[in-house]
Amino acid sequence: MNIKKIYSKDSKDFLKNLRERDTKKDKEVTEIVSEIIENVRINGDKAVKEYTQKFDGSLPEYYEVPQEVIQNALTEADTDFVEALLNAIENITNFHGNQIDNGFCVTKDNGVILGQKVRGLERVGVYVPGGKAAYPSSVLMNVIPAKIAGVKELIMVTPPLKDGTPNKDILVAAALCGVDRIFLMGGAQAVAALAYGTETVPRVDKIVGPGNIFVATAKKLLFGIVDIDMIAGPSEILILADHTAKPTFIAADMLSQAEHDPIASAILITVDESLVPLVEKELEEQTAKLSRKDIIEQSINNYGAIIICDNINTAIEISEEIAPEHLEVFLENPLEYIGRLNNAGSVFLGNYSSEPLGDYYAGPNHVLPTSGTARFFSPLGVASFYKRSSYIYYTEQALKEVSDDIILIANREQLTAHAGAIAIRNATAIRN
């Protein structure tokens, strides 16, 4: 493999290429997805089924998965797998339980009452890949915070397998998490069905979950018709390392993200140049044993890099500029740096906090901002499934005391009807 070795002063071109990788998408995808969305909007289930037959090869036995099939999958599942999922569910539930927001109410001496009401969304759609890339962990990470937030109904869509059946691991995870309904459909057509609703599929308020470029584009185009979690880009990991880091661990974790996608990025930033040949050797040797070798090599060759810095401060500055999805800190006393690491989806501290720990088990969510958006976006969480409304109560006297200020501001903005709505109440109070 040809991983780039860059000194920090020469990293500008690489970082520019990294930022632009997610914009190098074929414009034809947007045109194709736009057509699919419009067809589903007009023709509903008929259009969805036509696309399922076209893209998946045949229509599944059932459009909506019967509850009996879901329960049978759980009953017949490998007990060790179920136990592992239950342990992960416990961790994820405990972590996200700390994110609950109960709103507030403020009362003032003059009778004014102000507050914020917080409640879960009515209905949420969860997209779960179900073909070659089937991720039961995504069911857990998307459904559990929604349930904690109080979402009333969860509708899951997942593509059928080639034989027209659902992926049983996905069904098991859905059963354990309490998904209400499951439909066998995927791609942009499934996203459109959730956004607009069809004769069979209920319209949702928000769509969450990962997918390919067609799914991501559909979510982007439908944002505004429906809320979405985020525009997910390719996976990425950045590792900060010094002399205490273990080359075998560094290489293994870089490869864990590179195997996702040819445009995934795996970057090491180190202040110890002696690590470089050791990590290169481990990358070569470990890749040779992996099933997704071809994808890994493309990812490492195109968007992998080892950036060598003179000091930790420069390394952190580059990390903050990249704002990675996953940031691993393999530095001596890693907890010392957490206050300085502001731009990352999730931070993994120490040699034994490997990124897959967060993907599957520890508790924090694995749905994270990518492509530098960790500068302003947050991971999926309970708050992602809340709707907030404020409320205001003023007495007649309380309004009278502040009416002059409101009228002045409204008139300054030339919104005289706004001013009039306050003034008419003052006039009524004077007459009474």
43-58 pLDDT, tens digit each: 999 999 999 988 887 7
pLDDT band at 432 (very low <50, low <70, confident <90, very high): low
Structural domains of the chain sorted by starting position, each given as residue range(s) with its CATH number in brackets: 4-23+234-344 (3.40.50.1980), 44-228 (3.40.50.1980), 394-431 (no CATH)
392-429, pLDDT tens digit by residue? 999 999 999 999 999 999 999 999 999 999 999 987 75
280-326, pLDDT tens digit by residue? 999 999 999 999 999 999 999 999 999 999 999 999 999 999 999 99
Higher pLDDT, 12 or 221: 221
Q: Look at the alpha carbons of 172, 76, 88, 176 in this order and tell me if their dihedral is positive or negative.
A: positive
Give residue 231's pLDDT. 84
- Over residues 2-24, the mean pLDDT reads 82
Let me know if 325 is a catalytic residue.
yes
Give residue 261's pLDDT. 86
Which position among 236, 282, 325, 328 bears the catalytic label? 325
170-208, pLDDT tens digit by residue? 999 999 999 999 999 999 999 999 999 999 999 999 999
Give residue 407's pLDDT. 97
The token pair at 42 is 């007009």
pLDDT band at 17 (very low <50, low <70, confident <90, very high): confident
Let me know if 326 is a catalytic residue.
yes
The three-state secondary structure class of 117 is strand
Q: What is the pTM of this model?
A: 0.91
Which position among 326, 328, 355, 366 bears the catalytic label? 326
Give residue 57's pLDDT. 78
- The DSSP-derived string for 328-383 is EEESSSGGGGGGG--S-SEEEESTT--HHHHHHTSSS-S----TTGGGT-----GG
Give residue 12's pLDDT. 87
Give residue 132's pLDDT. 63
To the nearest 10 degrees (0 to 180), the angle between helices 213-222 and 187-196 is 20
pLDDT at 430 over 70: no
111-170, pLDDT tens digit by residue? 999 999 999 999 999 999 976 668 899 999 999 999 999 999 999 999 998 888 999 999
Q: How far apart are the first and last CA of the chain?
A: 85
Q: What percent of the chain has pLDDT above 70?
A: 97
**Mean pLDDT, the chain, whole residue set:** 93
pLDDT at 212 over 80: yes
Can you tell me the distance from the alpha carbon of 338 to that of 325, in angstroms, rounded to the nearest whole number? 15
- The DSSP-derived string for 283-297 is HHHHHTT-TTHHHHH
Q: Which of 15-29, 312-326, 336-350, 356-370 has the weakest average pLDDT?
A: 15-29
The residue among 211, 300, 306, 292 whose CA lies nearest residue 263 is 300
Give residue 426's pLDDT. 83
Other beta carbons within 10 Å of 102: 7
pLDDT band at 279 (very low <50, low <70, confident <90, very high): very high
Give residue 174's pLDDT. 97
Rounded to 5°, the CA angle 307-313-314 comes to: 35
pLDDT band at 1 (very low <50, low <70, confident <90, very high): confident
285-313 as b/e: b if 16+ CB within 10 A: eebeeeeeeebbbbbbebbbbbbbbeebe
Give residue 162's pLDDT. 86
pLDDT band at 23 (very low <50, low <70, confident <90, very high): low
Q: What percent of the chain has pLDDT above 90?
A: 82
- Over residues 332-355, the mean pLDDT reads 95
Query: Could you tell me if 263 and 350 are in contact, meaning their C-beta atoms sit under 8 angstroms apart?
Result: no
pLDDT band at 19 (very low <50, low <70, confident <90, very high): confident
